[in-house]
Chains A and B, each alone.
Chain A
Amino acid sequence: DVKVTQSSRYLVKRTGEKVFLECVQDMDHENMFWYRQDPGLGLRLIYFSYDVKMKEKGDIPEGYSVSREKKERFSLILESASTNQTSMYLCASSLGLISGANVLTFGAGSRLTVL
């Protein structure tokens, strides 16, 4: 089974701090994604990546950046955390077939609280 591991389950940061959320997948998947989950808003796509060093903006990229230096690792960066970025962050990966049949495997999530 594909495993998607998010390094931190819970983080508490102060406003203005730089925050790194790390995600690693172990099955050689091409695609990786970062979603944000908030009550009543569902899962909203922040950024995704089809390949190493490649990234594309999702629906809510403002205030975030990403890094994918290695195929298995996709990092979400909050350059200057703000209280409205308090949320659950979910990383996901998929195989990369251009067929519309990509199944997402999600990590367990990282709950970030910004004070």
Chain B
Amino acid sequence: QQPVQSPQAVILREGEDAVINCSSSKALYSVHWYRQKHGEAPVFLMILLKGGEQKGHEKISASFNEKKQQSSLYLTASQLSYSGTYFCGTEDTRATNKLIFGTGTLLAVQP
């Protein structure tokens, strides 16, 4: 079963912050975050492992609540280049390396 992402879409002005949530009905081993710009392939952003630390780079960070089977992606002081569709991919506790992706969150950053 696919994880549920919210919101489905969000429009921001440059410099504003956003949070994208990913919720699974299954116990998770890891959560991945990817971004897909229009017409391009999805690109890896970060991975969060069960029992691991919160990841982040630049102004994009994420958290993983294992008990709630949820992850959140935080985009701070958004830039035009952050526009795209964000996907979370979840791996269940068997660590099978098989990723099940959510339905995506469309983020549009406007000047």
Chain A interface (Cβ within 8 Å of chain B)? 4, 31, 33, 35, 40-45, 48, 50, 56, 58-59, 90, 94, 96-109
Q: Is the CB of A44 within 8 A of B41?
A: no
Contacts of A106 in B (CB 8 A): 41-43
Contact A103 B44 (CB under 8 A): yes
A100 touches B91 (CB 8 A): yes
Any A CB within 8 A of the CB of B58: no
Partner of A40, one of B43, B95, B103: B103
Q: Which positions in B face A, CB cutoff 8 Å?
A: 2, 5, 29-30, 32, 34, 40-44, 47, 49-50, 87, 89, 91, 95, 97-104
Contact pick for B44, options A44, A100, A104, CB 8 Å: A104
Nearest-neighbor residue (CB-CB) of B30 within chain A: A100
Answer whether A100 and B42 are a contact pair too, CB < 8 Å, given A35-B101, A42-B101: no
| B100 contacts across to A, CB distance below 8 A | 45, 59
Q: Could you say which of B40, B87, B99 has the most chain A C-beta atoms within 10 Å of its C-beta? A: B99
Q: Is the CB of B47 within 8 A of A44?
A: no
Docked pose: A52 CA to B34 CA in angstroms: 27
Are A104 and B91 in contact (CB-based, < 8 A)? no
- The A interface is mostly helix, strand or loop, or mixed, namely loop
Q: A50-B97, A106-B41, A106-B43 are in contact. List 11 more A-B contacts (CB 8 A).
A: A31-B97, A43-B101, A45-B101, A58-B98, A94-B97, A97-B97, A101-B49, A102-B99, A104-B89, A105-B44, A109-B41
**Cβ-closest chain B residue relative to A108:** B41
B residues near A108, Cβ cutoff 8 Å:
40-41
Q: For B40, list chain A residues within 8 Å (CB).
A: 108
> Given A31-B97, A96-B97, A43–B87 Cβ distance below 8 Å?
yes
If the complex has contacts A42-B87, A90-B42, A98-B95, are A103 and B32 also in contact, measured as CB distance less than 8 A?
A: yes
Complex CA gap A33/B98 in Å reads 9
Q: List 13 A-B contacts (CB under 8 A).
A: A33-B98, A35-B101, A42-B101, A43-B42, A43-B87, A100-B47, A100-B49, A100-B50, A100-B91, A100-B95, A104-B34, A106-B41, A106-B43
